[in-house]
Amino acid sequence: MRKRIGILTAGGDSPGLNAAIRAIGKTALASGIDIIGFRDGFRGLAEDRTMPLVWDDLVSLLTLGGTILGTSRDKPHKMLVDGEIRDMTGVIYKNYQRRKLDALLCIGGGGTQKNAWKLAQAGMNILTLPKTIDKDVGMTDVTFGFHTAMEIATEAIDRLHSTAHSHHRIIVVEIMGHNAGWLALGAGVAGGADVILIPEIPYDTEKVAEAIRWRKQAGRPFSIVAVAEGAISRQDYAALQEMKMRKHAAKGEEKKKIAEEIALFEASRQGNTQRLSQQLEAMTGLEARLTILGHLQRGGTPSAADRLLATRLGSACVHYFEEGLAGFMIAVRGEGAEPIPLKDVVGKRSTVPLDHCWLNCARRVKTCLGD
Ligand code: F6P
């Protein structure tokens, strides 16, 4: 009997997804394994919406951005169906059996690893690959999509430099990354940003303004401020910590009330980078402009490094399936691809350690980190 695997992509898209689909598909077909795609992440799995993947469907995918399978942020155990939130795990299990799958390969970020682990616990053979531009999945050196996004953000910083210089302005550039600073830090160092603000180091606005004023006095009346979307000021950080501590100590209704308070506070932080830009203008006397890179960082063709990584991981994933492994994420370890039990991956978000060499080198070249 020929073996058969299903594949889906979930969470925010990232460059390299199609390269991974191609690598999985070609490796599987070459080994006599059939492969079937599920559309739009876990939703397509719950709704049994599929896409056949034969050799011809896998051609010309290496350079293509996005995912031919489509994606969504739907969770198997909390899916909006007919206006209500339902646990679709049982339905998914039936579809898995109906399609006679020997395994399901899920490609995604931290949330997908968690959802995939839940499906593994429900009895399905699951293997996963780590992808996200944020590089925040635990237990893997890197995730595919990160390198391309870093290249895009670096090019943006390069381009912003000349206009900041010509107009003697501050340009604040907001870079994605969710609650991790990898992308802003990597692109900020590579692009020579004068200030880099990341969530791991709550910033002091006065210290940032001081660094910009110092540059102005030294004859450089322009500055590039690279801000991770999750960056937080010291005041906001202290306020958030205080609320979290109260929530931790509270019970019942009181706990709920504080949780709402936290949600409101988080929502009020929308537009934070815009506010920072205005504050810096007022504090330095230099005009400031804001650029939000947004989804530009996720679109388009993957870099050579991401194509290579997605191909390495995709082909290794099929190899581990053939070895009989299930319940693992295929992680990047140096030049190798290592299976890590999903239970050890779940809940381990990777953020920038405060002694990381990227931070050390940024400090040595006198980049302001807001502290
Ligand atoms: O996780 C990838 C990411 O691009 C984050 O950097 C960002 O916070 C988020 O997704 C944006 O999500 P969406 O595309 O759903 O707005």
Question: Looking at the structure, do residues 154 and 294 belong to the same domain, yes or no?
Answer: yes
Same domain, yes or no: 196 and 63: no
Within-domain flag for 364: no
- For residues 226 and 97, state if they share a domain: no
**Structural tokens at position 122:** 């429900």
Let me know whether 163 and 287 are in one domain. yes
Residues 137 and 153 in one domain: no
Counting atoms of ligand 1 from 1, which one is nearest the CA of 178? 8
Is residue 130 within 6 Å of ligand 1 at its C-beta? no
Q: What is the residue with the minimal CA distance to atom 9 of ligand 1?
A: 178
Q: What is the pLDDT of residue 313?
A: 98
Q: Is the CB of 133 under 6 A from ligand 1?
A: yes
Q: Give the residue whose CA is nearest to atom 6 of ligand 1.
A: 177
**Quick check: is 332 in a domain?**
yes
How far apart CA 157 and CA 165 sit, in angstroms, is 12
pLDDT for res 75: 97
Does residue 209 sit within a domain?
yes
Section 330-338 average pLDDT: 96
Residue 335 has a pLDDT of 92
pLDDT tens per residue, range 268-317: 999 999 999 999 999 999 999 999 999 999 999 999 999 999 999 999 99
Residue 275's domain spans which residues? 147-232+269-298
134 lines ligand 1 (CB under 6 A): yes
Q: Which atom of ligand 1 is the closest one to the Cα of 177?
A: 6
| Distance separating alpha carbons of residues 258 and 255, to the nearest angstrom | 5
Residue pair 291/133 in contact by the 8 Å Cβ criterion? no
pLDDT over 90 at 1, yes or no: no
- The residue with tokens 């107009």 is 167
| Closest-CA residue to 297 (of 128, 136, 132, 137) | 132
Say yes or no: 8 and 114 in one domain: yes
What is the C-alpha end-to-end distance of the chain, expressed in Å? 62
- Within 199-240, strands assigned E span 223-228
Note the pLDDT of residue 125. 98
Percent of the chain beyond pLDDT 70? 100
Dihedral, 221, 359, 182, 310 alpha carbons, nearest 10: 120
DSSP per-residue letters across 142-173: --BTHHHHHHHHHHHHHHHHHHHHHHT-EEEE
Q: Would you say residue 369 lies in a domain?
A: no
Within this chain, do residues 18 and 117 fall inside the same structural domain, yes or no?
Answer: yes
What are 122-169's pLDDT values in tens digits?
A: 999 999 999 999 999 999 999 999 999 999 999 999 999 999 999 999
| Ligand 1 pocket member 184 (CB < 6 A) | no
Q: What is the CATH number of the domain that holds 166?
A: 3.40.50.460
Q: Considering the domain boundaries, does residue 184 fall inside one?
A: yes
CATH code of the domain containing 120: 3.40.50.450
Q: Is 243 a domain residue?
A: no
| Domain count across the chain | 2
* Residue of 178, 272, 292, 350 best suited for mutating to test ligand 1, as the one with most atoms within 8 Å of CB: 178
List the catalytic residues: 134
Q: Ligand 1 centre from 183 Cα, in Å?
A: 12
> Does the structure show a pLDDT above 90 at 57?
yes
User: Using a 6 Å cutoff on CB, does residue 37 contact ligand 1?
Assistant: no
Tokens of 296: 């530009």
Sign of CA dihedral 106, 110, 112, 114: positive
Does residue 55 sit within a domain? yes
List, for residues 288-298, the tens digit of each pLDDT value: 999 999 999 99
The response to whether residue 13 sits with its C-beta less than 6 Å from ligand 1 reads: no
pLDDT in tens, 115-133: 999 999 999 999 999 999 9
Label residues 313-343 b or e (16+ Cβ within 10 Å = b). bbbbbbebbeeebbbbbbbbeeeebbbbebe
Domain match, 113 and 168 both: no
- 16 part of a folded domain: yes
pLDDT of 359 strictly over 90 = yes
Burial code (b: 16+ CB inside 10 Å, e: under 16) for 14-27 equals bbbbbbbbbbbbbb
What is the residue with the minimal CA distance to atom 10 of ligand 1? 12
> Would you say residue 207 has pLDDT above 90?
yes
Q: What is the pLDDT of residue 339?
A: 98
Q: What is the mean pLDDT of residues 238-266?
A: 95
Measuring CA to CA, which residue among 110, 136, 132 is closest to residue 353? 136
Taking residues 208-227, what's their average pLDDT?
A: 98
Residues 175, 164: contact at Cβ < 8 Å?
Answer: no
Query: By percentage, how much of the chain surpasses pLDDT 90?
Result: 100
Report the C-alpha gap between 136 and 200 in whole angstroms.
12
**pTM of this prediction?**
0.96
The answer to whether the beta carbons of residues 57 and 21 sit under 8 Å apart is no
